[in-house]
């Protein structure tokens, strides 16, 4: 039996009592993130008004500290002598932050330095939620209450336990006290979640305030929402695990997208489609967008359109294609590609790898048929099953560029190879799922169900969504799977090669099927995850490493 939980009020956002926040302050050699460096990082981790951790370290800026900065902060060249560099410190700091939101006074300064240093060190920047106590203070403390919104002024005004002194940890500790005073003020105005806090310094537009009643009847369940005009036409479609929470954000200052703000004046009602799971909602959203083509949506408007690179079976050679076709005649195709502009570079890559640089590949041309047939088979193998010949060619070209100091050229070749690998991987996945008449799989539910833990079941027919259900651990998932197999037949259209026309939907289902803990319950036909390891960037890295010259050889 399918069951669904009722989402709690906590699902409307992250309660401030539960929110993990890291208040950070930096000292630097100057004000330009692109040319100056960090000299000290201080941070305080808080939750529910309590300090749960602190982080503080000097950082060797690997350059002299200007005299006026040393005078202001007290941090001199001697202070940072022997300190770790930012390459060492930044990963440690990001590990300390984890999934927490970042808080800073004049956050633009601190975050710009952190993100710039992450880019310079080639460290992934996760773009965490950011709270700026300067912006929030300007909303909470008016000029008739404080003379300015400097950290020192605010710390004195709220009775902070420490006086900021232009040292990272002291300033971070003072900012914590200012933050808690701000939260107390905003709490009396109804701010109770982290999301409320991030937008508290902005103001909703008059249209948003006038239309916010449209969200009143939206339930707190997974599903799809449609903004409708006065005639019932669909203006915009979206999806969420919590429809009420998501739709409410469109009428707050947190919503700043131009396409949404331009749409809201025409919106007269909101229609919702409740779904059993978030996967079903994502598929329904795609189908509605493809069928109704809402003017304010951009992604998914034309699911039938795609770009493929096809190897013909006869005299076609390698060509761009807009429709996927059967490969039973000896043809092959990879994609869908991100852009039609990828076709010619990929065509050149494959022909260069098999025939040699600057060659062309056209069956029936001046080349003799046996030679062309052999080339055809090699290119087809590279596209469908074994890209090693192409990757060896790429690795050799990259090595030549690197040894010649042409690093930008080496990177261009690498990016083209990654485009080829991504296209081959996408095609392999779509080819595999599109051949299966019916597949019912189960995985542990990401959301609680009635009775506690449970299973989420998904039925797929030829790469099309056919049905889903939530089952408690006390129910029989096989019985529910058989029920899904016997119903939902109308959900599946006749199979098309490579899931042509619904590849985006198929890729949503494939991502689900590749998740942790997935088990096959029922299958009609043959289903196996395609062997895609060869179409992986790691495979390219391994081929490139083999081209390195062995010392003494």
Positions annotated as catalytic residues are 166
Tokens at 356, concatenated: 């040699």
**In the structure encoding, which two tokens stand for residue 3, read together?**
């069951």
312: helix, coil or strand?
A: coil
| Token representation of residue 62 | 């690997």
How many whole angstroms separate alpha carbon 64 and alpha carbon 80?
10
Distance CA 360, CA 187 (A): 69
CA separation for the pair 251, 210 (Å, rounded): 9
Distance CA 117, CA 139 (A): 31
* Helix, strand or coil, per DSSP, at residue 321: strand
Strands (E) in 337-474, as ranges, are: 438-444, 454-461, 464-472
Q: Do the Cβ atoms of 61 and 79 come closer than 8 Å? A: no
Q: Give the Å distances, CA to CA, from 146 to 140, 149, 159, 173, 194.
A: 10, 7, 13, 20, 25
Which residues partner with 28 through β-bridges? 38
Q: How far apart are the two ends of the chain, measured CA to CA in Å?
A: 68
Q: Which helix (H) or strand (E) holds 272?
A: strand 269-274
For 92-103, b/e burial (b = at least 16 CB within 10 A) is ebbebbeebbbb
Are the C-beta atoms of 337 and 498 separated by less than 8 Å?
no
CA–CA gap between residue 312 and residue 319 (Å, rounded): 8
The pair of three-digit structure tokens given for residue 371, joined into one six-digit string: 């030679």
Compute the distance between CA of residue 219 and CA of residue 543 in angstroms, rounded to an integer: 53
Q: What are residue 239's DSSP bridge partners?
A: 224
CA distance 165 to 143: 23
SS3 of residue 170 by DSSP: helix
HSE value, Cβ hemisphere, 13 Å, CA-based, for 154? 29
Cβ–Cβ < 8 Å for 129, 20 = no
Q: Which two tokens stand for residue 391?
A: 């990757």
The alpha-helical segments, DSSP class H, found in 435-500 are 477-486
Residues 369, 365: Cα–Cα separation, whole Å:
9
Q: How far apart are CA 464 and CA 439, in angstroms?
A: 10
At residue 460, φ and ψ (nearest 5 deg) are: -130, 135
**What is the C-alpha to C-alpha distance for residues 237 and 272, in angstroms, rounded to an integer?**
10
């Amino acid at each position: 039996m399918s069951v669904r939980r009722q989402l709690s009020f906590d699902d409307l956002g992250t309660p401030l009592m539960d929110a993990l926040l890291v208040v950070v302050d930096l000292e630097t050699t100057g004000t330009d993130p692109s040319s100056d460096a960090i000299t000290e990082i201080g941070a305080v981790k808080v939750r529910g008004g309590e300090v749960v951790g602190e982080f503080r370290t000097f950082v060797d800026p690997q350059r002299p500290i200007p005299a006026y900065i040393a005078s202001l902060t007290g941090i001199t060249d001697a202070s940072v002598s022997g300190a770790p560099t930012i390459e060492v410190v930044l990963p440690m700091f990001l590990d300390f932050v984890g999934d927490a939101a970042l808080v800073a006074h004049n956050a633009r300064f601190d975050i710009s330095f952190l993100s710039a240093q992450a880019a310079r060190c080639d460290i992934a920047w996760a773009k965490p939620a950011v709270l700026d106590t300067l912006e929030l203070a300007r909303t909470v403390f008016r000029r008739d209450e404080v003379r300015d919104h400097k950290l020192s002024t605010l710390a004195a005004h709220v009775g902070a336990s420490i006086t900021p002194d232009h040292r990272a940890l002291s300033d971070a500790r003072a900012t914590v006290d200012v933050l808690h005073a701000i939260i107390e003020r905003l709490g009396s105005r109804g701010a109770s979640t982290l999301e409320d806090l991030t937008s508290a310094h902005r103001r909703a537009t008059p249209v948003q305030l006038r239309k916010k009643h449209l969200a009143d009847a939206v339930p707190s369940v997974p599903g799809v929402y449609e903004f409708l005009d006065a005639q019932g036409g669909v203006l915009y479609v979206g999806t969420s695990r919590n429809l009420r929470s998501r739709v409410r954000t469109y009428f707050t200052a947190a919503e700043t997208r131009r396409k949404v703000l331009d749409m809201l004046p025409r919106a007269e009602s909101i229609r919702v489609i409740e779904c059993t799971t978030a996967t079903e909602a994502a598929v329904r959203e795609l189908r509605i967008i493809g069928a109704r083509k809402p003017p304010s949506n951009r992604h998914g408007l034309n699911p039938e359109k795609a770009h493929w690179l096809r190897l013909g079976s006869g005299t076609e050679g390698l060509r761009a294609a807009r429709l996927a076709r059967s490969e039973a005649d000896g043809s092959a195709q990879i994609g869908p590609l991100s852009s039609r502009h990828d076709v010619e570079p990929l065509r050149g890559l494959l022909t260069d790898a098999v025939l040699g640089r600057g060659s062309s590949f056209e069956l029936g041309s001046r080349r003799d048929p046996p030679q062309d047939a052999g080339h055809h088979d090699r290119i087809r193998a590279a596209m469908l099953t074994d890209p090693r010949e192409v990757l060896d060619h790429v690795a050799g070209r990259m090595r030549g560029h690197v040894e010649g100091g042409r690093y930008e050229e080496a990177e261009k070749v690498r990016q083209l190879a990654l485009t080829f690998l991504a296209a081959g991987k996408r095609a392999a996945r779509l080819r595999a799922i599109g051949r299966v008449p019916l597949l019912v799989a189960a995985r542990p539910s990401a959301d609680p169900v009635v009775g506690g833990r449970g299973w989420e079941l998904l039925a797929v027919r030829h790469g099309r969504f056919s049905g889903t259900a939530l089952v408690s651990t006390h129910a029989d998932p096989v019985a529910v799977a058989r029920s899904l197999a016997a119903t939902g037949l109308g959900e599946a259209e006749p199979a098309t090669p490579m899931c042509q026309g619904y590849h985006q939907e198929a890729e949503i289902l494939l991502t689900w099927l590749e998740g942790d803990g997935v088990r096959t319950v029922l299958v009609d036909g043959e289903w196996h995850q395609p062997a895609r390891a060869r179409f992986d960037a790691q495979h390219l890295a391994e081929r490139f490493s083999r081209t390195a010259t062995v010392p003494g050889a």
